[in-house]
């Protein structure tokens, strides 16, 4: 691996590049939030709208994805990500001591955002969780789905038709003590984060592949153009074999890195 930015250098242990990174202080009203995604060179994060299961990223990408969780008080996923992937966001064994030393639980709080509570409650995400998952849902969820959810998780209703994302972030900060939040998608949730000014950073792995299907989703995918367009600045850039690992931070209206 070679670090291209901020200062060029060889990297002897690629899997550790994010182990000791730091983040700015969180704002008082919500967690400091970063998003982690992998996309093809043409920006796709799905292949054949999920019908093709070929992993986009390399083994190193998947390792780094898990190791980024060491810095988070909570890991948030949308319902589609939970249905498609079904895994619990664990922290690797060798990083759990780092979390304990910082006064954290070995694993972050697992949070799911869903309008309907239509989730696979028999999936590993729920069966392997070391603690209870937190599900944030809406008043439109069918009572029987909410009841099934409460058998495996804590359920909080935030919004009638859509999950109130800003309210959810305030709840996590105020009621659950979440100062740092990692969102692992999916694309529509990422769009909401950026549209509402709730995303501070984007970690993006660029896989050396081309999808080419116009109906496939991009890393940030929603019903409208984001206005004004969020602007970001590079924090770090690594090249490993044919794959790029990017870290970008949102710039606020004053031109300073968003916090």
What's the rounded mean pLDDT across residues 47-75?
A: 91
Which one has a higher pLDDT value, 200 or 83?
A: 200
Task: State how far the Cα of 133 lies from the Cα of 149, in Å rounded to an integer.
Answer: 10
Buried b (16+ CB within 10 A) or exposed e, 31-40: bbbbbbbbbb
**98-156: pLDDT as tens digits:** 899 988 899 999 999 999 999 999 887 887 767 779 999 999 999 999 999 999 999 99
pLDDT of residue 258: 40
Q: Which CATH architecture has domain 29-211+233-250?
A: 3-Layer(aba) Sandwich (3.40)
- pLDDT tens figures, 197-236: 999 999 999 999 999 999 999 999 999 999 999 999 999 9
Q: How confident is the model at residue 87 (pLDDT cuts 50, 70, 90)?
A: confident
Cα Rg, the chain, nearest whole Å = 18
Whether the predicted pLDDT of 259 surpasses 80: no
Task: Beginning with the edge strand found earlier in the chain, give each strand of the sheet holding 74-78 in spatial order.
Answer: 9-10, 2-5, 232-240, 243-250, 201-207, 32-40, 180-183, 74-78, 109-113, 133-137, 153-157
Tell me what the mean pLDDT of segment 36-51 comes to. Answer: 91
Least confident of 14-28, 78-92, 102-116: 78-92
pLDDT score of 53: 76
- The whole-number pLDDT of residue 256 equals 40
pLDDT reported for residue 126: 85
Segments making up each domain of the chain, as ranges: 29-211+233-250
Beta bridge partners of 24: none
152-207, pLDDT tens digit by residue? Answer: 999 999 999 999 999 999 999 999 999 999 999 899 999 999 999 999 999 999 99
Residue 49 has a pLDDT of: 77
| pLDDT grade for 240, boundaries at 50, 70 and 90 | very high
pLDDT value of residue 253: 45
């Amino acid at each position: 691996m070679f670090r291209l930015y901020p200062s060029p250098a060889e990297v002897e242990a690629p899997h550790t590049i994010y182990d000791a990174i730091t983040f700015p202080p969180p704002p008082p009203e919500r967690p400091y939030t970063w998003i982690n995604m992998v996309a093809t060179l043409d920006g796709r994060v799905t292949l054949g709208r999920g019908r093709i299961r070929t992993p986009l990223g390399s083994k190193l990408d998947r390792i780094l994805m898990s190791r980024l969780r060491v810095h988070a008080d909570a890991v948030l996923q949308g319902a589609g990500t939970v249905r498609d992937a079904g895994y619990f966001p664990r922290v690797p064994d060798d990083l759990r001591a780092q979390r304990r030393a910082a006064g954290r639980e070995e694993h972050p709080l697992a949070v799911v955002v869903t309008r309907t509570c239509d989730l696979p409650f028999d999936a590993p995400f729920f069966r392997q969780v070391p603690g209870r998952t937190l599900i944030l849902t809406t008043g439109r969820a069918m009572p029987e789905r909410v009841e099934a959810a409460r058998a495996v998780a804590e359920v909080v209703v935030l919004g009638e038709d859509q999950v109130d994302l800003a309210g959810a972030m305030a709840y996590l900060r105020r009621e659950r003590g979440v100062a740092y939040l990692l969102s692992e998608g999916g694309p529509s949730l990422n769009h909401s984060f950026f549209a509402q000014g709730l995303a501070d950073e984007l970690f993006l792995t660029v896989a050396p592949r081309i999808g080419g299907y116009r109906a496939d989703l991009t890393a940030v995918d929603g019903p409208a153009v984001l206005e004004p367009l969020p602007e970001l600045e590079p924090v770090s850039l690594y090249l490993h074999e044919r794959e790029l690992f990017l870290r970008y931070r949102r710039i606020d209206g004053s031109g300073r890195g968003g916090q």
